[in-house]
């Protein structure tokens, strides 16, 4: 490996295989190159955007912003990672800016959950009101 981009890709894949966090990938890259990945010019491809939570798992980041790489990593054995690195060295594939947010089925599920939680809250209020109208034959003892 000779370029910073190749080192970064290798760190992402290795951290993914170890199920580490985004911060682990950054620390690995810094320990190898003695450079901070976010400060390198020209900008590296396949980097998380600034403000992205570093403690989140690398698999979550790769799945939501590098879906093609995620699919390949799940499907292939670790022995083929070197071939993937060679392919990425010539690729201009970068993070998908929208990630999973643009998925309409995900939005539909969110709407269902929101409606369900409103319905559950309403049901809880009805039960609480019903329960407050009765003493359930429980009487408080006398105070002395």
Confidence category of residue 140, pLDDT binned at 50, 70, 90: low
Residues 12-22: tens digit of each pLDDT = 999 999 999 99
Query: Nearest to residue 63, comparing CAs of 53, 52, 73?
Result: 73
Q: Within a 10 A sphere around the Cβ of 29, how many other Cβ atoms?
A: 24
Is this prediction's pTM over 0.75?
A: no
> What are the backbone angles phi and psi of residue 56, rounded to the nearest 5°?
-75, 150
Residues 85-125: tens digit of each pLDDT = 999 999 989 887 654 444 566 677 677 766 666 666 666 67
Give strand ranges (E) for 5-118: none
Q: Within a 10 A sphere around the Cβ of 12, how many other Cβ atoms?
A: 27
């Amino acid at each position: 490996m000779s370029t910073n981009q190749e080192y970064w890709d290798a760190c992402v894949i290795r951290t993914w295989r170890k199920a580490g966090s985004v911060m682990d990938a950054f620390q690995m890259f810094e320990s190898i190159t003695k450079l901070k990945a976010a400060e390198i010019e020209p900008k590296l491809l396949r980097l998380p955007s600034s403000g992205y939570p570093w403690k989140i798992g690398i698999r979550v980041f790769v799945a939501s912003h590098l879906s093609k790489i995620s699919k390949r990593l799940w499907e292939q054995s670790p022995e083929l990672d070197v071939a993937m690195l060679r392919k990425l060295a010539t690729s201009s594939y970068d993070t998908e800016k929208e990630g999973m947010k643009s998925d309409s089925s995900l939005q539909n599920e969110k709407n269902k959950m929101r409606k369900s939680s409103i319905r559950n809250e309403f049901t809880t209020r009805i039960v609480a009101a019903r329960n407050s109208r009765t003493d359930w034959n429980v009487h408080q003892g006398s105070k002395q």
